[in-house]
Structure 1
Amino acid sequence: MKWNWGTGIVLGMIGFIAFIMFMVITMLTDSDYDHDLVTENYYAKEMAYQDEIDQEKRLESLSKKINGKRTKEGWLIEFPEEINEINSSGTVFLYRPSNQKLDIQFDLKLSGSHLLIPDNKLVDGRWNITIEWTTKDNDYLYKESILY
């Protein structure tokens, strides 16, 4: 077989295509490269988005802003005085953008008007905290992105 420019270009293209196909198959089948969706029911959640906007706007009617800070024990969220364990119930969702397996959801359990997320539940990095609760027939939604 005679080697010329045409043969070299064709073999180079075949090698490049084989390399790209190898990389695509590796990325799709290897569990180290999982690609998690932000939410499974994206369209259903989108339809309820206006309710979320209304719940977030109700936060402005509270006596003071909700503050979160890192402490030795974990992440401490301070609510206004009118939000306490007696008149509030809801859920807390901790979303880890880089790894769906680290996501955590639990019931809202306030201590006075404070919520402590223990240090052992949080891994260093970025977290999105979403707290939904009901107080006196009003629904509220608090969202915050933190670097822990």
Structure 2
Amino acid sequence: MKINWGTGIVIAFGLFMTFILFFVFTVQSDSKYDNELVVEEYYKHDAHFAEEMTRIQNAADLAQRPIINNNANGIEVEFPKTFETNKIKGKVSLYRPSNKKLDFEIPISLSNATTLLIPKKSLAGGRWDINMEWQYNGKSYLSKETVYVR
């Protein structure tokens, strides 16, 4: 049986459509390819964007800022030694872009030390976005950073 060029184009087009439909079905049904929103309530979050920018600017205006270090023990958040640790309140949110189930928050609770340690055993390897929301002397701050854990 001889196939002319018109039949060949139709067959190729049909195979291509089958491949695309298979790919779309696989991505939509497999839990490995989870399509999640970055923020659950996007519009509510967007309404507070100006406040968030003010807190980011407050953090940028500090003469000495908290430093986020990634070392062998885990992630360390080191506040400047000039801060009174009992006046620092807030939380550190760790966001994993690839898997929402790994996201978690840690309250900032410092005793006499100026360093908060997030142990490596609670962190999977890969990219982590860290949002640190904190208050000191009645002023709100927000620090954002991306860390890669190995």
TM-score bracket relative to the smaller structure: 0.7 to 0.9
The question of whether the paired residues in 2 share the 8 Å contact of 1:128 and 1:143 is answered with yes
Task: Look up the match of 2:27.
Answer: 27
Which amino acid is the alignment partner of residue 50 of structure 1? A
Which amino acid is the alignment partner of residue 128 of structure 2? W
CA change 1:14–1:72 in 2 (3 A) is closer
Structure 1 Cα separation of the partners of residues 63 and 26 of structure 2: 54
Structure 2 unaligned regions, length at least 5: none
Task: Look up the match of 1:69.
Answer: 69
Cα drift, residue 136 of structure 1:
2.2
Task: Look up the match of 2:132.
Answer: 131
Which amino acid is the alignment partner of residue 54 of structure 1? T
Cα drift, residue 117 of structure 1:
0.9
Higher deviation after alignment, 123-132 or 8-17: 8-17
Question: Residue 81 of structure 2: SS of its match in structure 1?
Answer: coil
Task: Look up the match of 1:144.
Answer: 145
Question: Residue 18 of structure 2: SS of its match in structure 1?
Answer: helix
Cα drift, residue 62 of structure 1:
3.3
Question: Residue 94 of structure 2: SS of its match in structure 1?
Answer: strand
The question of whether the paired residues in 2 share the 8 Å contact of 1:63 and 1:80 is answered with no
Aligned positions of 1:1-148 closer than 5 A: 3-111=3-111, 112-148=113-149
Structure 2 Cα separation of the partners of residues 145 and 26 of structure 1: 31
Which amino acid is the alignment partner of residue 74 of structure 1? G
Cα drift, residue 94 of structure 1:
0.2
The question of whether the paired residues in 1 share the 8 Å contact of 2:90 and 2:132 is answered with yes
Q: Cα RMSD over matched residues?
A: 2.0
Cα drift, residue 47 of structure 1:
1.4
Question: What do residues 79-130 of structure 1 show as CA deviations (whole Å, max 9, x unaligned)?
Answer: 1235444112211100111221111112122242211111111122211111
TM-score, length-normalised on structure 2?
Answer: 0.86
Structure 2 Cα separation of the partners of residues 19 and 60 of structure 1: 50
TM-score, length-normalised on structure 1?
Answer: 0.87
Question: Residue 145 of structure 2: SS of its match in structure 1?
Answer: strand
The question of whether the paired residues in 2 share the 8 Å contact of 1:89 and 1:133 is answered with yes
Structure 1 unaligned regions, length at least 5: none
Cα drift, residue 63 of structure 1:
4.2
